[in-house]
A and B are shown apart, each in its own frame.
Chain A
Amino acid sequence: QVQLVQSGAEMQEPGASVKVSCKASGYTFTDYYIHWVRQAPGQGLEWLGWINPKTGDTKYAQKFQGWATVTRDTSISTVYMELNRLKSDDTAVYYCARGVRTSPGFQTPYDFWGQGTLVTVPS
């Protein structure tokens, strides 16, 4: 069955970087985009960006351009989201989610989500 399994909770100091992983299984890794979404405590959802695992192409929200980096390792079906220069405002649960197919076909976007990774940046 399709699963997106994320790495465990992290606590990082302000100014440091964090790298969260999202390991896909149960489907062909390069067949679907992967998106990253975060949610600060008690707040709404915020979209960070996506990666096309087939090509490595990425797209970021304007706010995260130059600040977040999404990469993939096709050999282990894993996508990474790295956020640097962390601030206390970056304390949030970070989710990966499966997006649309990378090739034409029947689409079921955002059908599977990772369990979320809590990143804590103390103030």
Chain B
Amino acid sequence: QAVVTQEPSLTVSPGGTVTLTCDTSTGTVTSGLYPYWFQQKPGQAPRTLIYDTTIKHSWTPARFSGSLLGGKAALTLSGAQPEDEADYYCSLTYTGARVFGGGTKLTVL
């Protein structure tokens, strides 16, 4: 089974910009792996921010954006807010089966 890799932790200053990435053991992340990004805060169910690489849900704050960057999927947060401190998970699809990355703990400090 493919392995999906994320940065274990990142820190961003309030108002700053940070990019989280999502890599695949199979080579390059493409739109055909349908990258999704999820946010999870302590004690809560995950919430989907981005699907199909770039598409936002209606509740996704405009400061979040998804892209492909350097062969990886990327989630960019521009203008970080304290409430963005959370765990972020990406997932990719391989012939219909989803695989989650290990998650990135984002600290806003």
Contacts and interface: CB of A to CB of B under 8 A. Distances in A.
B96 A113 contact: no
A62 B96 CA distance: 11
B81 interface: no
Given A35-B98, A95-B46, A113-B46, A45 B1 contact: no
A7 interface: no
Interface hub of A35, A44, A113, A116 (most chain B Cβ within 10 A): A44
A61 B38 contact: no
B98 to A, nearest CB: 4
Interface in A85-123: 95, 97, 107-111, 113-116
A118 B87 CA distance: 20
Contacts of B45: 95, 113-116
Interface residues of B, number: 23
Nearest to B93: A47
Interface string A30-66: 0000010100000011110110000000011111000
A48 to B, nearest CB: 9
Interface hub of B1, B48, B52 (most chain A Cβ within 10 A): B48
Interface of B: 1, 36, 38, 40, 45-48, 51-52, 57-58, 87, 89, 91, 96-103
Interface of A: 35, 37, 44-47, 49-50, 59-63, 95, 97, 107-111, 113-116
